[in-house]
Amino acid sequence: MALWPVTFINGEGFLPCFWNFDQACLPFVRSGTFWGPFNESMPNATEHTRWIREEAQRLGFSYVGISRAEFMEEEARRLEAWLNKGMHGQMGYMANHFDKRTDPRKLAPGARSVISLMYNYYSEDGQQDPEAPRIAKYAYGKDYHFVLKHKLKSLLHFIEERIGQVHGRVFVDSAPVLERDWARRSGLGWMGKNTLLIHPRAGSYYFLAELICDLELAYDAPIKDYCGACRRCIDACPTEAISPEGYILDGSKCISYFTIELKEAIPEEYKGKFENWMFGCDICQEVCPWNRFSRPHSEPEFEPKPALLAKTRQEWEEITEEVFRELFRKSAVKRTKYEGLKRNIAFLKKGGHEHE
């Protein structure tokens, strides 16, 4: 039973009473010689939004933005053009469920709001051997899918307990959701020339997550693009995956694609161009001036195992499947599997490129 304290004004002062949602028992305001019905829209969308933001921050999310759930016309055109040019490579799933990917109401029927959340994963720790094959920072700790989905479910439970029956779904990079576009629409940042979401006070080392629900909320607005004339990410990308003017990423040329998504042999033409990345790549984030605002995360689940940071180049090259399973239990690195990681390491060795 959800009881809400409400205060009404009558001719003699304040009259405290309660609003019982579950039994639809509406209180009345005394006015003169009759009782008039109370406005059913209270508590309103602004109050609900405040509660959601406060709970999300309590759960560890750094920033929260909210957009109206609707068809994404501009994004749909851009996605279609990107797919038609084959920039998704062998990521066939990117072409699936186009209608759901561009309209959250088809993914979550009855949806009114898309709640976008950012969770920090930046770490100042690094691999100790400068010649060791490198792993992207997001994969240092426990798989973010598990960590964030648990927090999102807690947030949805809070909404149901505090506000009443709400139909919603949670997403962490695991469904046809254009997460960066929704985060941009909700004012959490702008889409950088490297196509990552950049927050003006925190940079881009953040996981994005969404809660799509049928609750009407107070909506945020996009902010302007602050990349300006900077082209550091474009110039730094060793495989030229970022278009000359930025804002378009050819996924089929990205080091992250080759080391994680590609299941066959890595094309020989990229030999010596990986700058020693064996899983993912942070180059375009490392050179981005906005990441000078990055601060270390405070999530214990994302702390790297000491053994991961301590491994030498030789130890990586000689890694066994048993060590792989132990080191990457509940890790995002499991996505590439043991055979995939060995392939990546062998490709780096063949290219003879040492980390600079």
What is the domain count for the chain?
3
For 263-284, the pLDDT digits (tens) are: 999 999 999 999 999 999 999 9
Q: Which of 92, 91, 109 is nearest to 100 (CA)?
A: 109
Q: What is the pLDDT of residue 43?
A: 59
pLDDT band of 352, cuts 50, 70, 90? low
Q: Are residues 128 and 177 in the same domain?
A: yes
| Average confidence score pLDDT of the chain | 89
Give a yes or no: residue 256 inside a domain. Answer: yes
For 224-276, the pLDDT digits (tens) are: 999 999 999 999 999 999 999 999 999 999 999 999 999 999 999 999 999 99
Q: For residue 33, is pLDDT > 80?
A: no
Q: For residue 110, is pLDDT > 70?
A: yes
Q: For residue 354, is pLDDT > 90?
A: no
Give a yes or no: residue 297 inside a domain. Answer: no
Q: For residue 38, is pLDDT > 70?
A: no
Q: Are residues 151 and 203 in the same domain?
A: yes
Rounded to the nearest angstrom, the gap between the alpha carbon of residue 248 and the centroid of all alpha carbons in its chain is 19
Decide which of 213, 247, 263 is a domain's last residue. Answer: 213
Neighbours of 352 (CB within 10 A): 8
Q: Where are the beta strands (DSSP E) in 69-220?
A: 113-120, 134-135, 168-171, 190-191, 197-198, 206-213
Q: Are residues 30 and 53 in the same domain?
A: no
Whether the Cβ atoms of residue 255 and residue 351 lie closer than 8 Å to each other: no
pLDDT band of 35, cuts 50, 70, 90? very low
Q: Are residues 318 and 180 in the same domain?
A: no
Whole-angstrom Cα Rg for the chain: 24
Enter the pTM of the model. Answer: 0.87
Q: Are residues 260 and 116 in the same domain?
A: no
Whether the Cβ atoms of residue 173 and residue 145 lie closer than 8 Å to each other: yes
Q: For residue 26, is pLDDT > 90?
A: no
Range of the domain at 267: 232-289+308-351
Alpha helices (H) along 287-320: 306-310, 313-317
Give the C-alpha separation, 264 to 270, whole Å: 14
Give the C-alpha separation, 139 to 158, whole Å: 29
First and final C-alpha spacing in the chain: 61
Q: Are residues 51 and 28 in the same domain?
A: no
Q: Are residues 208 and 113 in the same domain?
A: yes
Give a yes or no: residue 335 inside a domain. Answer: yes
Decide which of 213, 247, 280 is a domain's last residue. Answer: 213
Amino acid at the residue 263: K
Q: Are residues 92 and 198 in the same domain?
A: yes
Give the C-alpha separation, 348 to 356, whole Å: 14
Q: What is the pLDDT of residue 60?
A: 98
Q: For residue 167, is pLDDT > 80?
A: yes
Give a yes or no: residue 273 inside a domain. Answer: yes
Q: For residue 34, is pLDDT > 70?
A: no
CA distances from 218 to 114, 153, 185, 271 (A): 11, 21, 13, 50
Q: Are residues 205 and 330 in the same domain?
A: no
Give a yes or no: residue 356 inside a domain. Answer: no
Per-residue pLDDT, averaged over 348-355, amounts to: 71
State both tokens at 96.
């699936």
Place of tokens 């499991």: 334
Question: Is 173 marked active-site?
Answer: yes
Q: For residue 22, is pLDDT > 50?
A: no
Alpha helices (H) along the chain: 45-58, 73-84, 98-102, 104-107, 144-163, 179-185, 232-236, 255-256, 283-286, 306-310, 313-317, 321-327, 337-351
Q: For residue 15, is pLDDT > 50?
A: no
Give a yes or no: residue 295 inside a domain. Answer: no
Rounded to the nearest angstrom, the gap between the alpha carbon of residue 256 and the centroid of all alpha carbons in its chain is 16
Q: Percentage of residues in the chain with pLDDT exceeding 70?
A: 87
Give the C-alpha separation, 80 to 356, whole Å: 37
Q: What is the pLDDT of residue 351?
A: 82
Q: What is the pLDDT of residue 32?
A: 34
Q: Are residues 79 and 163 in the same domain?
A: yes
Per-residue pLDDT, averaged over 62-83, amounts to: 98
Give a yes or no: residue 136 inside a domain. Answer: yes
Q: What is the pLDDT of residue 247?
A: 98
Per-residue pLDDT, averaged over 299-323, amounts to: 98
Give a yes or no: residue 276 inside a domain. Answer: yes
Q: Percentage of residues in the chain with pLDDT exceeding 90?
A: 86
State both tokens at 217.
């909320």
| φ and ψ of 184, to 5 deg | -65, -45
Decide which of 213, 241, 272 is a domain's last residue. Answer: 213
Marked catalytic residue, from 173, 214, 220, 225: 173
Q: Are residues 107 and 206 in the same domain?
A: yes
Of residues 234 and 174, the one with the higher pLDDT is 234
Whether the Cβ atoms of residue 117 and residue 298 lie closer than 8 Å to each other: no
Q: Are residues 68 and 188 in the same domain?
A: yes
